[in-house]
Amino acid sequence: SCLLLQFTDKRFQPVHDLTIGVEFGARGAAGALLVYDITRRTASNVEEAFINTAKEIYEK
């Protein structure tokens, strides 16, 4: 919800209501979302580390 609000309205809301029912639809799901600032040089280093960590977790 916060990511969508930032993307659509270009504003950040530090406190928001949780989406009702999300825990039921997401139970047992596996996924990952990486969000980073592509205008910062150090962001590309984070991407490789994130992918490696995700692979390690998936293989367990």
- Which residue numbers belong to the known binding site for GTP? 1-2, 19
Q: List residues forming the annotated binding site.
A: 1-2, 19
C-alpha triplet 40, 38, 43: angle, nearest 5°: 55
Q: List residues forming the annotated binding site for Mg(2+).
A: 1, 19
Dihedral sign for Cα 26, 23, 12, 53, please.
negative
